Chain A
Amino acid sequence: MRLWSAGNDDDARPAPGTPVFVARDLTKVYRMGEVEVHALRGMDLELFAGEFVVLLGPSGSGKSTLLNILGGLDVPSGGTVRYREHDLVGANERLLTKYRREHVGFVFQFYNLIPSLTARENIALVTEISRHPMAPEEALALVDLADRMDHFPSQLSGGQQQRVAIARAVAKRPDVLLCDEPTGALDITSGKVVLGVLARVNRELGTTTAVITHNAAIAAMADRVVTIADGRISKVLRNEHKASPEDLAW
């Protein structure tokens, strides 16, 4: 079953394997008064359509910074990034908002659900501003939470909240799914369920998925593992055999 709507030709999904993100010599410097923090120190990276990438690295290595730039939440200090034909460096706030709205799905470490909206409403928050969304109920079914539709975030466990967040991210049928430590706040069991959902979305919807983690064990379920150290890419590894999330050794 192909869930992707074929309606808009201009944004037609690229063939699997073509590069969707191309970053060259990416740098990011945070200035905190006198101190300059070099979060990214010249990074070259490609992400390919339909692949499941794990970005691995120790805390403070610049993973979130990279992901924020790819997702249009932040702009680099130097270098270039393109998402297909979109230049993410020169774009202004309005264009970045449009880019996020149309192409990107986010999953955050702390879920960031709106506490005053139910699971279904949190998803509707996104679907009501996207062009070809799936129904919130459908998205919830995808993460096996159809029965928790009308629960408020405070009535859900951490793992369930993260699944709602994933449903919220995928409900608009994004081209890319960017997840920053999606299991960082979860125990093993819920973490595996969440990863399973991400793998399923990647598999069934063909959404290009990038997952940040400092947990090396998760790397086994990726198509490719990009290791980041001190603002640079230190290693890229292609998995011949993807492990299923259930089999991960945590």
Chain B
Amino acid sequence: MSMLDRKLRRDLLRMKGQAAAIALVVACAVAAYVGSTTTYRALRSSNEEYYDRFAFADVFAELRRAPATLASRIAEIPGSGTVETRIVADGPMNIPDFAEPATAHLVSIPPGGPRLNRLVLLSGRMPEPGSDEALAGETLLKLHHLHLGDAVSVILEGARRTLRIVGTATSPEFIFEIRPGDLLPDDAHFAVFWAPEADLAAAMRMEGAFNNVVLRLAPGADRQNVLDNLDRLLEPYGCLGAYGRDRHVSHRFISDEIRQLQGVAVFMPAVFLGVAAFLLNVAFSRLVGTQREQIAAIKALGYGNAAVGLHFLQLAGVIVLLGTLVGTLAGAWFGSVMTKMYALFYHLPLFRYELDPSAVAAAVLLSLLTAFAGVAGAVRRAVRLPPAEAMRPPAPPRYRATLLERLGLGRLLGPVGRMILRSLGRRPVRALLTAVGVAAAMAILVLGAFLDDSISWMMDLQFRRAQLEDATVTFVEPRDPAVVVELRGLPGVSRVEPFRAVPVVLRAGHRTWRIGILGLPASPALHRISDRGGNLVDIPAAGLMLTDKLADLLHVHPGDDLGVDVLEGTRPRKTVRLAAVVRDLIGLSAYMELDALNRLAGHGPAVSGAFLSVDQASEKELHRRLKDAPMVAGVLLQRVAVASFEATNAQYLLFFTGILVLFAAVISVGVVYNSARVTLAERERELASLRVLGFTRGEVSAVLLGELAVLVVLALPLGCLFGVGFSALIARNLSSDLFRVPLVVENSTFAFAALVVLGASLLTALAVRRRIDRLDLVEVLKTKE
């Protein structure tokens, strides 16, 4: 080993604490990068492969009823590839030992099995036609403790049918088992079944007919063209408009998730690498400073500038590579855990985790680049250092009165205070960056907790403050408003608010959107509409109200007229003025006043369902009654759905918060420790001299730790600011058509973040304090000068 390498190794050992702190921060960056990138890639490629191998359709259409012969005409549409016609039905479901009403979503299995949205048989066997057999999703069995061979009953076309579960399955169509139109998966009350076509046809009186089409586009096909053609062909058969994957609810959930992961994969590592670069910068500036004479001597002895530069770059490289190694291992672990979590969450049958070598290579490259960016200044100084310096003793550091002192504040401070102030004033940039580093740690914590805050706030606003209903009842078909009286008579029901939902296509120029317009009383008492700020919004007496996302999609503004094609009854085509836009948080919605909507839809007053206020004690009894009512298509229990969402969410948040706390602690410890060690090294003599002059250990520590305390305290408000900034960025990244993530950070979040940072700083300060206590006075003062 060359002597310079030997020096490198010993220097590294000497600065092992600092090196470890820096390596850890790099490790966090790499772990975050490798973990999220590999998860992102695993998720994306598994998803694509799944879609591909199991032939996920490109186009979807639901209709009322069309003759089977129409299938060949669909196949003739230019650009259409494989076409499959199916029978799909929803019906109220009775699950053994489960009081609450639930919905079964049944999809037909053509003879020979589906060619599109193919099934992954997870357990059991395929159902035999003519024997009430069906496949179910795995979640249903797990949640309700059902086993293969157990049965549920479903009401189809007014008749109770038994479904005997002979196997479990999944398909690319139902990665998320979510009721169309719902915002949250509600696994306890919604389940997908696959049943033989013949059975479903018989139950639905659909022999020789179909009510659902899926198709795959031929390579290079113009999707919009196929959609238009399909709409034209299917319209007479009650098609509500064909749509592509972009409006497929399961696909949208998945692609949002993937997009968000990609954001995380970029954002978190960037913060860490920034901090690592700063730490390296401070540590190496200091190192080159202390080794000034050594560097000059090495040059005087005949080593070139390149050798000296390389020497320091190598040192930085070793530290960073150590961090990268640890980070890659941690990232691989993190990635495989996340992947497992996603696999569970999405029931993805093809989930393979791979430690992608290109991700590792990118991480190595990125962290080396960061390292070199961090030490570039110090290395340049080392390279430029004139060797003649070796002959000269170093000049004493230059101090001056700081601005604060010149303003006369100095008199308020004792000598210790003034030393702290001047030391900070001597390296203002480093002081500022140290504070920024600690602030970054805090910001990461704020960021982590912000998600929880925002989602809680959003859920609270939407489901506890705005929407006061306990249950939502949906009828199979629009009914006479008199039904309200009937509902009011049900046990425990204290309030009934009827609503009308009319499926329409909204048209604005060439833009169209298929949606159900929700008709509500002008000032709803239960299902109230709230804007992003939590203010309740009235439904305009005339005209349409859209959520801002939908208005943006259609490029319309209040005052504009929209074409409305009603997709039920006599199917009138009308024009409606956009009366208002509500800036809300969740989903894409269209609202009208109930009577206005009834006039629009034509055929007299009708209700599609009702929101209920229910006394909790009578809930069980109500469920039982509603379950047996054939007119009821479904019942959504708000409280249960929200609770199950929050429970799932809490589990993930716990994991991520844990990781973020670890990250933040690493950053604060890294920054504070590094700063303390560097300051200690620079001022060892000064501090030792103070001891010799009779200062106590505590007083001497105060000089050094006071400086750190000032910086950490300075960092707290800065950290809040950064945290809000980061959160705003992430909120934008997470916002989708389904959710607008509001920027809500609770005070408790700031407090929590500040506590973690202060705690980590305090522990570090104690470690440094021990070093100060052990300062060897004689040894320090003996060193040259």
Contacts and interface: CB of A to CB of B under 8 A. Distances in A.
Interface of A: 64, 67-68, 71, 73-74, 93-94, 97-98, 100-102, 104, 106, 108-110, 112-117, 121-122, 124-126, 128-130, 168, 172, 180, 185
B407 interface: no
B303 A117 contact: no
A69 to B, nearest CB: 9
Contact of B393 (A101, A110, A115, A130): A110
Q: Which 7 A-B pairs have the closest CB atoms?
A: A101-B302, A112-B297, A116-B10, A125-B3, A73-B388, A68-B388, A73-B387
B386 A97 contact: no
A100 B302 contact: yes
B304 A106 contact: no
Contacts of B390: 73, 106, 108, 112
B300 A129 contact: no
- For B3, B294, B387, B784, the residue with the greatest tally of chain A CB atoms inside 10 Å of its CB is B3
B702 to A, nearest CB: 29
13 contacts: A64-B392, A73-B386, A93-B305, A100-B387, A108-B297, A112-B294, A113-B297, A115-B294, A116-B14, A117-B7, A125-B3, A125-B7, A126-B301
A102 B302 contact: yes
B296 interface: yes
Contacts of A124: 3
Nearest to A122: B3
Interface residues of B, number: 28
A67 B299 CA distance: 15
- For B2, B388, B391, the residue with the greatest tally of chain A CB atoms inside 10 Å of its CB is B391
Given A108-B391, A185-B784, 12 more contacts: A73-B388, A74-B386, A94-B304, A101-B302, A101-B303, A106-B300, A108-B300, A110-B293, A114-B297, A121-B3, A125-B3, A125-B4
Given A112-B296, A185-B784, A97 B304 contact: yes
Contacts of B542: none
Contacts of A126: 301-302
B294 A73 contact: no
Interface in B727-785: 784
Interface in B389-408: 390-393
B73 interface: no
Interface of B: 2-4, 6-7, 10-11, 14, 293-294, 296-305, 386-388, 390-393, 784
Contacts of A97: 299, 302-305
Contacts of B387: 73, 100
B300 A71 contact: yes
A34 to B, nearest CB: 18
Contacts of B391: 64, 67-68, 73, 108-109, 180
- For A73, A94, A116, A180, the residue with the greatest tally of chain B CB atoms inside 10 Å of its CB is A116
- For B298, B301, B392, the residue with the greatest tally of chain A CB atoms inside 10 Å of its CB is B301
B302 A130 contact: yes
Nearest to A114: B294
Contacts of B11: 116
Nearest to A113: B297
A129 B10 contact: no
Contact of A114 (B7, B392, B784): B7
A100 B387 CA distance: 11
Nearest to A71: B300
Contacts of B297: 106, 108, 112-114
A108 B392 CA distance: 9
A124 B3 CA distance: 7
B386 A125 contact: no
Contacts of A73: 300, 386-388, 390-391
Contacts of A114: 3, 7, 294, 297-298
A61 to B, nearest CB: 14
A100 to B, nearest CB: 5
A210 to B, nearest CB: 13
Contact of B298 (A93, A125, A128, A180): A125
Contacts of B388: 64, 68, 73-74
Contacts of A108: 297, 300, 390-391
B784 A110 contact: yes
- For B4, B11, B300, B304, the residue with the greatest tally of chain A CB atoms inside 10 Å of its CB is B300
A21 to B, nearest CB: 17
Nearest to B383: A93
Given A64-B391, A185-B784, A116 B7 contact: yes
Nearest to A65: B388
Contact of B3 (A104, A106, A109, A128): A128
A188 to B, nearest CB: 19
A202 B182 CA distance: 95
Contacts of B299: 97
B230 to A, nearest CB: 75
Contacts of A101: 301-303
A97 B294 CA distance: 16
A101 B298 CA distance: 10
B301 A117 contact: no
A129 B303 contact: yes
A97 B7 CA distance: 21
Contacts of A168: 301
Contacts of B386: 73-74
Contacts of A71: 300
Contacts of B294: 112, 114-115
Given A68-B388, A73-B390, A185-B784, A117 B6 contact: yes
A129 B298 CA distance: 11
Nearest to B307: A129
B298 to A, nearest CB: 7
Contacts of A94: 304
Contacts of B303: 97, 101, 129
B393 A117 contact: no
A94 to B, nearest CB: 7
Nearest to A106: B300
Contacts of A93: 305
A196 B542 CA distance: 110
A94 B64 CA distance: 86
Contacts of A112: 293-294, 296-297, 300, 390
- For B4, B294, B388, B784, the residue with the greatest tally of chain A CB atoms inside 10 Å of its CB is B388
A217 B6 CA distance: 41
- For B6, B14, B297, the residue with the greatest tally of chain A CB atoms inside 10 Å of its CB is B297
A94 B387 CA distance: 13
Nearest to A96: B387
B55 to A, nearest CB: 66
A101 B305 CA distance: 13
Nearest to B304: A97
Contacts of A116: 6-7, 10-11, 14
A121 to B, nearest CB: 5
Given A73-B390, A74-B388, A180-B391, A100 B6 contact: no
Nearest to A169: B301
A117 B303 CA distance: 16
Contacts of B296: 112
- For A98, A113, A129, A130, the residue with the greatest tally of chain B CB atoms inside 10 Å of its CB is A129
A94 B307 CA distance: 12
A117 B391 CA distance: 20
A91 B296 CA distance: 19
